[in-house]
Amino acid sequence: MTPLRSLQDIATQVQGTVVGDGSIEVTQLVHPMMATSPQDLPFAIEPQALEILPHTPVKAAIVSKEMTVPDGVLAGYIVVERPRVALAQLLNIFDKPVHAYDGVHPSAIVESSAQVDPSAKIGAFVYVGEGAKIGKGAVLMSHVTVGAEAVLGEDVLLHSGARVGERVILGNRVILQHNVSIGADGFSYVTPEKGSIESARESGGKIEAQNSEIIRINSIGTVILEDDVEVGACSTIDRANLDATRIKKGTKIDNLVMIGHNNTLGENCLVAGQAGISGSCKVGDRVVMAGQVGLKDHISIGDDVIIMAKSGVMNDIDPKSIIVGAPAKPHREVFQTLGYVNKLKDMHKDMIALKKRVNELETAQQNTGTPNEPVEV
């Protein structure tokens, strides 16, 4: 049965202020358009939501401090300073945990040398390899693979289809979404002699050699995800050649992200969907990469950098820079250039109009037989 929560208790947990009746009890957080019960609590932070609420049976809501709630619409409501922060807190309060199997599912295969904490939950068709360690409170949903000697910390959550390679280390509270791959081999190859890439670099862009053979460089290192790292669906993080590809604590990685071998990402970074990081890069703390960002290999990104969407980063970036474009440059420089381009467009239109006017004047003079005189423009 869904527990009842009073408006005042919720306000205390989200650092909000109750206006009206704080004793109102609610059972679930909903979008205003989905409110169908007096015990629903709409998250109504947009002005349009206030127009919806009078047509619902709700008694209470969450609103932002900028909003004015008309008298009589609600019996009570919670005013919050930062709606997005409040939303995160509210979703924890009204969380709906995954339906995990209690214990080890009969269809799961756990090798005899693996160590699984008694409190862990192992779902259907999970495989846990030799010497692997599964920590306290870990949840492995169906069809998860944990390779030999991998180590999973406390309260990790691995959604269906996640693959954790051999010797990979996951810290506490790591979350892997569906079909994540952690610990695949890196994309690492070499040619016996100088190939097309090396010759192009040395000659300044001229290809003077061919790739007659491609030799595989094995990846015998690992991947380390520190505490509170989250990785989105269908993303992949490759293991290092010798040491570890490391994602430091608190970093959040979106869906469909590719992180190559030997990389280090700092703490509390945000990496949005379809970003790609080539091998052997060093990314500082609190770096933000928007969607479809690409990083060249062997470069360094300073702390607190923001890389805007679709940027191609080819060189090291200083701390606290905002960059955009391909190749990426400081955003002020790029926007200034775009401003100049727009001005050139206007100048081109003015030149066309001026040329047309001059032609009209010359035609008029020719028709009247008037001698040509200078035209002031």
> Which active-site residues does the annotation give?
261
CB 214 within 8 A of CB 191: yes
162 closest CA partner among 228, 97, 231, 224: 231
DSSP annotation string for 87-120? HHHHHHHT-------SSB-TT-EE-TT-EE-TT-
Q: Is 142 in a helix, a strand, or coil? A: coil
119 by Cβ neighbours in 10 Å (0-12 / 13-18 / 19+) ranks as: middle
**Distance from C-alpha of 92 to C-alpha of 370, rounded to nearest angstrom:** 85
Q: Are strands 76-80 and 17-20 parallel, antiparallel or unpaired?
A: antiparallel
Is residue 330 reached through a cis peptide bond, with omega within 30 degrees of 0 on the bond before it? no
How far is CA 219 from each of CA 43, 188, 231, 295, rounded to the nearest angstrom? 48, 8, 21, 21
Question: Six-digit token pair at 274?
Answer: 């379809």
Kind and range of the H or E run holding 288: strand 288-289
231 closest CA partner among 265, 263, 254: 254
Which residues are CB-neighbours of 165 under 8 A, at least 6 positions away? 147, 150, 181, 182, 183, 184, 222, 223, 239
DSSP annotation string for 212-228? ---EE-----EEEE-TT
How far is CA 69 from each of CA 33, 35, 55, rounded to the nearest angstrom? 17, 17, 14
How far is CA 101 from each of CA 106, 108, 119, 147, rounded to the nearest angstrom? 10, 11, 11, 21
Buried/exposed 54-92: b ≥16 CB within 10 Å, e otherwise? eebebbbbbbbeebebeeeebebbbbbeebeebbebbee
